[in-house]
Structure 1
Amino acid sequence: MTDFGMIAGKVVVITGGARGIGLASATALQALGAKIAIGDIDEATVKESGAARDFDVYGRLDVTDHQSFESFLDEVERQLGPIDVLINNAGIMPTGRVVDEPDQITRRILDINVYGVILGSKLAIGRMLPRGRGHVINIASLAGETHIPGLATYNASKHAVLGFTDTLREEYRGTGLRFSSVLPTLTKTELGSGVTAPKLMRPAEPEEIADAIAKLIVEPRSKVRVTAVAGIISQVVGLLPQSVGDAIGRALGAQSAFLDDVDSDARKAYENRVRE
């Protein structure tokens, strides 16, 4: 049985913490006794979320800007002490065919989903190495183990997160630092609005991802997939011959889930926000 008591008193920083998986994780870890700091590019919403839940530190954080990230971590450590866990959660998922994707959106996806994770990890490692302890948890996606039409650049970004995190795990083996990836399936957050999950792969609740993160902090592993069923399907399909795996993906509806089957009206608010 998982001993969540180990989380009490830990200083946990979560990027993209104003809503969705980030906010659910912050709420769950706070309930387990962690000291919580959330940062988000959406200053108004992160302050609203942070104040409503009485988090220890909350404020604007641009994960693509070195000074913003470093200043935020400095402030966290000034108020709460050394950072025990950094959860690189900030990410965006615009949908559509890549030929229609404006260059600035391609750049924005890569800046937030890849560079933001790399920058945060570097800054955390620099602080954790001298102490010989610390845990970096990077939120990837099951999209990082497969290929989903309508998410070409997003898929690429999550493949990058997985490769980066696995490399850090080996690069810093024996130092006392831990590195983990979390691979959610489509989750019931604004990021997944207007999208119907492929067959057999029900959408996850953000609280399920939060629970997986809490378990990772207590019992570190290299990867955790949520949901378990979606994770198994992803792994099995990845082992099959390409033509068979692609055929299964089409049969499950992955070919159209993020293209023709998207409810554009339901997704409009999210798409407008992340494309600003």
Structure 2
Amino acid sequence: MDTPLKGQVAIVTGGARGIGRGIALTLAQAGADVLLADLLEEPLAATADEIRALGRRAAFAKVDVTQAVQLEGMVSQALSELGGLDILVNCAGVISISPVSELTERDWDFVMNVNAKGVFLGCKAALPHFRTRKRGRIINVASIAGKEGFPNLAHYSASKFAVVGFTNALAKEVAREGITVNAICPGIVRTYMWDRLSDEWKTQGESIEESWQRHQLTLIPQGRAQTPEDMGRLALFFATMDNVTGQSVNVDGGFTFH
């Protein structure tokens, strides 16, 4: 097995399930040891076991990404338990569905705090270590909703647009310090979030499964959904490329072009 990340350590927030899990397993398959951070304790432990089954070391931490002290502790745990930190993947995210006219300030703040502030705090926690080493890979998970707005998801789109802009700006700040910063923009991936959207957007008499199938066929030019493993492969690319930085790359089956 090709192991380009052998001897490296990665942190993946939101790593318990979905896209985060897919990225974590892909990095582990490429040789990385992984610290998983999430609020979901049972799935955290299960994903850690999967990583260990691949012959890699795994640790996990219950972390609220809106709390700076917890993210600083996460980085310290990676250094103490796994012996280093080479790759940070900020994947923790939330979604809610509401037109702006009915959107509460509380829901706006919740989505923005997890999706945008959480990325900022994660990067800030890892940067001192990366700067000391003069090397690091930061991979933020944004969304195609960070490049194109969607009705009833204005707050979610705003949070992901923020991630795209933040990624590009930070990449320029640290470009000469051996640190790259890039973003993955997933398209339609069968996760808990998309099950919620399929339920919200189903037509009268349509099941969630039928809604999901319809959205794949009508929205994606390739006619099929993307997978967490697809996002993992792009994360691996970013983790191994020295001269790619400041980019936000879509993995969406042709849904968007920018």
Same fold, judged at TM 0.5 (above)? yes
Structure 2: 5+ residue stretches without partners: 199-214
Q: Which residue of 2 aligns with 1:96?
A: 98
Contact 1:4 1:215 in 2 (8 A): no
Correspondences of 1:24-63 after superposition (within 5 Å): 24-54=22-52, 56-63=58-65
Does residue 214 (structure 1) correspond to residue 236 (structure 2)? The answer is yes
Contact 2:188 2:194 in 1 (8 A): yes
Structure 1: 5+ residue stretches without partners: 236-276
- Greater mean alpha carbon deviation, residues 168-177 or residues 193-202: 193-202
Runs of 4 or more above 4 Å deviation: none
Tell me the alpha carbon deviations over residues 207-247 of structure 1, each in whole angstroms, 9 at most, x when there is no partner.
Answer: 111111112111253232103522xx332xxxxxxxxxxxx
Correspondences of 1:148-167 after superposition (within 5 Å): 148-167=150-169
| Alpha-carbon separation, structure 2, partners of 1:89 and 1:168 | 17
Instruction: Kindly state the Cα deviation for residue 52 of structure 1 after the two structures are TM-superposed.
Output: 4.6
Contact 2:225 2:253 in 1 (8 A): no
Q: Secondary structure at the match of 1:86?
A: strand
Contact 2:90 2:139 in 1 (8 A): yes
| Alpha-carbon separation, structure 1, partners of 2:220 and 2:117 | 33
Q: Secondary structure at the match of 1:138?
A: strand
Q: Which residue of 2 aligns with 1:15?
A: 13
Identical aligned residues as a percent: 29
CA RMSD of aligned residues (A): 1.8
- Greater mean alpha carbon deviation, residues 36-45 or residues 191-200: 191-200
Q: Which residue of 2 aligns with 1:266?
A: none
| Alpha-carbon separation, structure 1, partners of 2:180 and 2:80 | 23
Instruction: Kindly state the Cα deviation for residue 123 of structure 1 after the two structures are TM-superposed.
Output: 1.1
Q: Secondary structure at the match of 2:183?
A: strand
- Greater mean alpha carbon deviation, residues 46-55 or residues 11-20: 46-55
| Alpha-carbon separation, structure 1, partners of 2:22 and 2:220 | 24
Give the alignment's TM-score, normalised by structure 2.
0.84
Correspondences of 1:1-276 after superposition (within 5 Å): 5-54=3-52, 56-193=58-195, 194-195=197-198, 196-197=215-216, 198-201=218-221, 202-219=224-241, 221=244, 222-230=247-255, 233-235=256-258
Q: How many residues in Structure 1 have an aligned counterpart in Structure 2?
A: 231
